[in-house]
Amino acid sequence: MALQFSTVTRKGPITIVTLSRPEVYNALHTDAHYELEGVFNEFAADPEQWVAIVTGAGDKAFCAGNDLKWQASGGKRGWGESGFGGLTSRFDCDKPIIAAVNGVAMGGGFEIALACDLIIAAENAVFALPEPKVGLAALAGGLHRLPRQIGLKRAMGMILTARHVPAREGLELGFVNEVVPQGEALAAAERWAETICKNSPMSIRASKQTLMRGLDVSLPQAIAEQRDYPAVKAMVASQDYIEGPKAFSEKRAPNWQGK
């Protein structure tokens, strides 16, 4: 796949996706959305890739959201089935995705980060859903994910004021996992990814799928149904399910197959 608006780097089982429109603070337009949809489709389908990291080019922005200048000039709007940046409506990927937020994450950029499983933020990162200031609304998932992740009143406070929230406050509110010095967000995200990759990828996928599906139903129903989830069945049928206990009993590091 020829890429114009992003770059993809693979480090072993880790895929690093960099939004690459630094001239507009990595804001996204229609063509970029469709390109990123393809990038994350490839990641999801590749059994050799276990964890993805998404970040922004340059040292100022993760993603400034929707490219308003593009829109104002008559550029077409829209994205594919997987949503803004190829992620906000992607509900079937059981592999972990980490946001390495290296600067501003505004509007759709913040919505991309919220759609990830972990957010690692540099100290210069700033988050906001500023859509009401330009007559829009955060309809790429932000209005639903933020209250689910930090609670109704805190989310209302951010959404109704459209205020900017620095990284440290994001950590206090609970949507940021770790704050690191400026310029170190990607390295920290890689550290998290490497730690995740020490575990069985089959177990990680089963855990993520079980957690996410369980949030949609009652606790008794979630516990009753979890063994029927596809990723849980795949884990039980995998070589990793045998290798893990064997490696533990032999006091050695496991050799995960991911299948």
Q: Specify whether the CB–CB gap between 4 and 35 falls below 8 A.
A: yes
Residue with tokens 């206090």: 172
Catalytic site residue from 131, 169, 172, 190: 131
Considering the candidates 111, 172, 178, 243, report the single residue annotated as catalytic: 111
Q: Would you list the DSSP string of the chain?
A: ---SSEEEEEETTEEEEEE--GGGTT-B-HHHHHHHHHHHHHHHH-TT--EEEEEESSSSEEE--B-HHHHHTT------TT-GGGTTT-----S-EEEEE-SEEETHHHHHHHHSSEEEEETT-EEE--GGGGT---TTTHHHHHHHHH-HHHHHHHHHHT--EEHHHHHHHTS-SEEE-TT-HHHHHHHHHHHHTTS-HHHHHHHHHHHHHHTTS-HHHHHHHGGGSHHHHHHHTSSHHHHHHHHHHTTS-------
Active site annotation includes 194: no
Question: Residue 190 catalytic?
Answer: no
Residue positions annotated with a catalytic role: 111, 131
